[in-house]
Structure 1
Amino acid sequence: MRPTGVGIGEVARRTGLSVHTLRLYERVGIFAGPVQRDAAGRRVYSEWDIAWLGNCVLFRASGMPLAALAELAWLVSEGEGNEADRLDLLRAHRQRVREQMTQLTDCLQLIDAKVAAYEKHLGAGAGGDPWQPNRP
């Protein structure tokens, strides 16, 4: 039986991942199953593979390391019985994301304060550096 599906270029276009990244993901075990090949040896991806990659893109954007993503993929590929391990992995990542969001909120508050100060300073037609008003 000949595998049918989507070629690597189309998957790259649909996911926003480069062809190089797709090959890397296959090498390091990011797919939750083997990538099929056609008779010529070209990669052929299923719609499930593409949906999985959509999740992977978001996990990576949230800072999930490749090793954790590969572990999750391995757990998924193993099938039923390891759902608690998957949950533990996802909970740990969720906690890291929450901590990062807290830090980014603090950063955004500082940036907002600086923007407001510069807008006020420039809006008043003041010269010089608003942070060092008494500097000679």
Structure 2
Amino acid sequence: MIKALCFLGLIAVAFATEGLEDCGSPGGTLISAQIGDCEAAPCTVTPGETVNFVASMLSASSTETLEVLVEADLSGTVIDITDIVGVNRDGCQTVDPECPIVPDVEYTITAEVTVSDLFAGESLDVVMSLIGDGGETLVCLKLRADVEA
């Protein structure tokens, strides 16, 4: 799964939200990402707010499945918040074109993230990973978020 083709590394990553970081995309290439109307990190969000997420990627290998994992890093403690923020773990339900994922095709995945009041007043790093067969990370992105009190 980590057989990234050399030319994929040459593709420029165009993040629409400034300050998004590619936190390791060994099985693919993150082409672009947009988090709601946030133009630059840290993004300020409000508990209860629904934020739209859109990302485009290329995979370096084939996968039948696509899992979405959302994690929060609160001062070094990383927790899985995928269910807390209401994101569907089955990325095949929100990817276009549909699964299976094959190399060298651009895919767009969308998600709606509901900001939890559990994080009110916190500043945290949010990490979203797209995971293929066998648990291999295809793409990963990180964003700093400030949750209003």
Task: Select the structure that is richer in helix.
Answer: 1
Q: Same fold (TM over 0.5)?
A: no
| Larger relative contact order (Cα-Cα within 8 Å, sequence gap ≥ 6) | 2
Return the TM-score normalized by structure 2.
0.24
Task: Select the structure that is richer in strand.
Answer: 2
Return the TM-score normalized by structure 1.
0.25
Q: Which has the larger radius of gyration?
A: 1
